[in-house]
């Protein structure tokens, strides 16, 4: 069974698929011939339909109320049990049909099978009665459905090299980092370690890429290397990765000391630039062990470190931390407008009513580029003031207590307004650890295997998956780097949050 989202819009879509399966000819005929209690099945459908009406309210309130989130989890378990039951009936009906046997001659005897099914339905109904009662106790209400139908397909692939025309508010930061890379003023240290520090979503990686790819830097170093570190600071694996990048060869050395000797040997006399992106390691011993063979490189070598932690930056760096700040509302609006209007071939000035609302939305993002880009991706296909007002006045902005929840309101809003088919595919990706990379085709095949793609009359499932993937890229949930799939850490956190206890993660 597919890993799925604990959320209103997804549960509603899941229930609709369940209702369709219950109404299919195979299930209806099979139930009739097996003498399964039709009345019980109808009661089950009615009870699920009554709960369906409050799911949008529950999806919002789960952010601030743990009781609502627990209620959604219990409902999800019950929906799974119902799905299992209906799928079993449907599978048995198809088996008999394929084998050409009358349903009455199937493996199960009519009477015992009907009794078994009726008992399972009755048990599910008992559970649902309690869930229905609890929804009133926790104050869930019927609300208007979120308009989250599939938007027109827009293909925007984030390139491995940052397009500076799409970056706003980072010119001064870029100059500081580039000047540190160009400078040879450090006479104490052979290698300058430059920490870029800031909270998630500020654009530390983007700034490092801008400096790394600057034309003034390109010919300054003999070797350039980029390594995403993340949670695991494995000295052996990081050393091996650096060696393989320097030599452009696969390394078979299995002893750490021999590995460091080899890296020392190949780096001697070489001037390198190394980026260690997204570092979480607080152990000085590990950092010292990783750095020791690097010290034999030529003077003027540089290391850029990006991290959320001031203390990690201070531990690793030998120049002061470069503290990345939020961008101004003016730069935020430019960034927002770039993502909203770039594929619509229109000037923002032609939508003066939207500009007023959009600037207020940008203010709510509090200068975080990731949040601004996320909402820009959401609104790029909704160029009307009513849709923008819904985003601006949505109570999700107030529901999320940032002290208790690490999910950015802007990211949650972008998720909340996803079509249900995209919600399921996005949530499935919570199985991947942070900084995990794989091919787009692998993701699509996994979605297909989990039956997350809705068949279309004139498109293959691979084409449907490609369309889903492009939609999630255009909304900034996914990034693509040389056809590799990756999610920002905060987007990965969002996927894990919406999947809740229904997630098993690789790694």
pLDDT digits (tens, 9 = 90+) for 224-256: 999 988 777 899 999 999 999 999 999 889 899
Among 137, 160, 191, identify where a domain stops. 137
* Strand partners for 26: none
Q: Is 414 or 313 the better-scoring residue by pLDDT?
A: 313
What is the reported pLDDT for 287? 95
Q: What is the mean pLDDT of residues 452-477?
A: 85
Separation of alpha carbons 313 and 197, rounded Å = 7
At 470, the pLDDT band (50, 70, 90 cuts) reads confident
> Do both 253 and 382 map to the same domain?
no
- What percent of the chain has pLDDT above 70? 83
CATH of the domain at 414: 1.10.10.10
Q: Are residues 319 and 333 in the same domain?
A: no
Quick one: 319 and 337 in the same domain?
no
Identify the pLDDT of residue 166. 63
Position 322 confidence tier, pLDDT thresholds 50, 70, 90:
very high
Task: Reply yes or no on whether the pLDDT at 6 is more than 70.
Answer: no
In three-state secondary structure terms, 289 is helix
Q: Which tops the pLDDT comparison, 169 or 221? A: 221
Domain containing 382 equals 329-502
pLDDT at 161: 46
The domain tally of the chain equals 3
Tokens of 33: 């011939």
> Helix (H, G, I), strand (E, B), or coil: what is residue 66?
helix
Half-sphere exposure of 83 (CA within 13 A, CB side): 16
DSSP label at residue 250 = -
Judged against a pLDDT cut of 90, whether residue 315 lies above it is answered with yes
Lowest mean pLDDT among 284-293, 412-421, 438-447: 412-421
- Average pLDDT over all residues of the chain: 80
DSSP 176-191: HHHHHHH-----S-SE
- Give the pLDDT band (50/70/90) at residue 284: very high
Query: pLDDT value at position 151?
Result: 35
pLDDT at position 397 over 90? no
- Tell me, yes or no, whether 388 and 464 share the same domain: yes
**Which pLDDT score is estimated for 109?**
57
Contact (CB, 8 A) for 115 and 45: no
Q: Is there a single domain that holds both residue 489 and residue 418?
A: yes
Q: What are the tens digits of pLDDT across the range 24-57?
A: 777 777 777 777 777 887 888 888 877 777 777 7
Token pair listed for 29? 């005929």
Instruction: Kindly state whether residues 14 and 128 are assigned to the same domain.
Output: yes
Residue 277 in contact with residue 200, Cβ under 8 Å?
Answer: no
* 247 and 127 inside one domain: no
Same domain, 335 and 456: yes
147 or 88: which carries more pLDDT confidence? Answer: 88
Residue 273 lies in a domain: yes
């Amino acid at each position: 069974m597919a890993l799925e989202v604990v959320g209103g819009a997804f549960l509603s879509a899941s229930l609709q698929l369940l209702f369709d399966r219950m109404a299919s000819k195979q299930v209806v005929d099979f139930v009739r011939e097996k003498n399964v209690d039709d009345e019980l099945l109808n009661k089950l459908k009615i009870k699920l339909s009554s709960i369906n009406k409050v799911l949008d309210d529950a999806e919002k309130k789960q952010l601030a109320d743990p009781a609502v989130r627990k209620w959604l989890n219990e409902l999800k378990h019950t929906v799974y049990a119902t799905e299992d039951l209906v799928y079993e009936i449907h599978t048995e009906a198809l088996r008999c049909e394929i084998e050409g046997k009358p349903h009455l001659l199937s493996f199960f005897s009519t009477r015992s099978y009907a009794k078994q099914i009726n008992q399972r339905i009755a048990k599910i109904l008992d559970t649902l009665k309690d869930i229905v009662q609890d929804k009133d106790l926790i104050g869930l209400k019927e609300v208007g459905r979120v308009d989250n139908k599939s938007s027109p397909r827009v293909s925007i692939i984030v390139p491995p090299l940052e397009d500076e025309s799409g970056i706003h508010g980072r010119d001064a930061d870029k100059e500081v980092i580039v000047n540190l890379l160009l400078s040879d003023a450090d006479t104490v240290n052979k290698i300058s370690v430059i920490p870029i520090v800031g909270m998630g979503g500020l654009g530390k990686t983007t700034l490092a890429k801008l400096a790394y790819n600057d034309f003034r830097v390109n010919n300054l170093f003999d070797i350039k290397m980029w390594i995403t570190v993340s949670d695991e600071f494995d000295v052996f694996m990081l050393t091996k990765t650096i060696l393989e990048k320097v030599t452009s060869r696969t390394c078979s050395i299995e002893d750490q000391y021999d590995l460091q000797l080899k890296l020392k040997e190949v780096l001697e006399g070489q001037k390198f630039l190394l980026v260690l992106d997204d570092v979480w390691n607080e152990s000085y011993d590990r950092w010292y062990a990783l750095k020791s063979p690097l010290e034999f490189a030529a003077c003027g070598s540089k290391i850029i470190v990006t991290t959320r932690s001031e203390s990690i930056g201070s531990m690793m760096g030998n120049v002061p931390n470069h503290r990345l700040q939020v961008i101004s509302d003016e730069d935020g609006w430019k960034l927002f407008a770039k993502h909203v209007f770039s594929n619509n071939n229109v000037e923002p000035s032609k939508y003066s009513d939207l500009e007023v609302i959009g600037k207020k939305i940008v203010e709510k993002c509090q200068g975080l580029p990731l949040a601004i880009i996320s909402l820009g991706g959401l609104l790029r296909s909704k160029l009307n003031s009513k849709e923008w007002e819904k985003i601006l006045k949505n109570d999700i902005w107030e529901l999320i207590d940032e002290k208790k929840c690490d999910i950015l309101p802007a990211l949650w809003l972008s998720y909340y307004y996803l079509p249900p088919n995209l919600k399921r595919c996005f949530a499935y990706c919570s199985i991947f650890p942070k900084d995990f990379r794989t091919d787009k085709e692998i993701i699509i095949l996994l979605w297909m295997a989990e039956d997350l793609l809705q068949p279309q009359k004139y498109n293959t499932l691979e084409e449907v998956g490609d369309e889903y993937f492009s939609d999630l890229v255009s909304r900034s949930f996914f990034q693509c780097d040389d056809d590799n799939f990756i999610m920002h850490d905060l987007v990965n956190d969002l996927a894990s949050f919406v999947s809740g206890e229904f997630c098993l993660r690789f790694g």
